[in-house]
Structure formats: C-alpha cells, structure tokens
Amino acid sequence: MDRYRFRSPIGRAIGLGSAKAGFEHWWTERVTAVALVPLTVWFAASLIAHSGSGYEAFIGWLGSPVTAVLMILLLIALFWHTALGLQVVIEDYIHSGAKIWALLAARFGCFTLATVGIVATLRIAFGSWAGV
C-alpha cells in the first residue's frame, strides 16, 4: 500500500501537513497490530498446550529454532505496538513538562524490555543459562 496516497503530491512538495511523523504512527500501529494477531494467538495457544509440562520439555520447545524466531518476532511487534500505544495515551493525559520524560521513559522502557526478551530467547535457543 502506497502510504503517500494519504497526502496530495502538492502537499508533499510544499511540505504541508504534520510537522512530526503524522501518518507514520497510525500506519505502524496497524501493521504491528496485524502482525500481533497471529503471533499472540500462537503464543497463547502454545502456553496452553504446554500447561503442566516440566522445565526441560518447556525449554526444549522454547529453544527450538522455529519457536525462537516466532518469539523474537512477537517481542519486536509487541513492544513496537506497545510503545506507539503508550505514546498516544501519554500525549492525551499529560500536558505539563513531565510529558516529554514520560514519553522517553515509555519508549526507552519498551526498547529495553524487547532487548532483554530477545537476549533471553537467544540464550535459551543456544542452550546456555546463567552460570552454567
């Protein structure tokens, strides 16, 4: 889908419209949402299917290549979607000087959490846990 269809050519040439990202935010929120539908359903179904299984079996599944890839895709889509969603919530409710700090905290928090999750998944996939 050509995202520039949402702006007129002359508007784009003169530089009218949102001074910030504008359409980008709305579109990326939808794209991550579409990705999250199958990814979260897969994750929830997998957790249910592994109810009551032991640690070894669970880690065996989590560390398998397909699962690790899907898990990392889920983390990326999830925290991108979360960052965008929290951004609009913060922008709607905080109008003082604290707004910019809240926005930074939310975005940095999402990046950090996604990184921690990805590193944890990779460590499980490549078979080394802490201290062993």
Partner 1 sequence: MERISSKHTRPLSPNIQIYRPQLTSVLSIANRITGVFLSACAVVLVLWLAAAASGPDAFSRFQSVIGSWPGQILLLGATFAFFMHLCGGIRHLVWDTARGFELRQIYASGWIVVVASVVLTLISWLASMLIAGQS
Q: Is 86 in the site for partner 1 (CB under 8 A)?
A: yes
| Only segment of 8-16, 17-25, 124-132 that touches partner 1 (CB under 8 A) | 124-132
Smallest separation (angstroms) from partner 1 to the CB of 6? 12
Minimum distance of partner 1 from residue 23's CB (angstroms)? 13
Please state, in angstroms and as integers, the Cα–Cα distance from residue 10 to each residue in 20, 40, 124, following that order: 18, 41, 52
CA 121 – CA 66 distance, rounded (Å): 12
What is the residue-wise DSSP string for 30-99? HHHHHHHHHHHHHHHHHHHHTTT--HHHHHHHHHSHHHHHHHHHHHHHHHHHHHHHHHHHHHHH--STHH
Between 19 and 130, CB nearer to partner 1: 130
Task: Tell whether residue 120 is a contact of partner 1 (CB under 8 A).
Answer: yes
Note the residues at the interface with partner 1 (CB under 8 A).
30, 33-34, 36-37, 40-41, 44, 47-53, 55, 58-59, 62, 71, 75, 78-79, 82, 85-86, 89, 95-97, 113-114, 116-117, 119-121, 123-124, 129-132
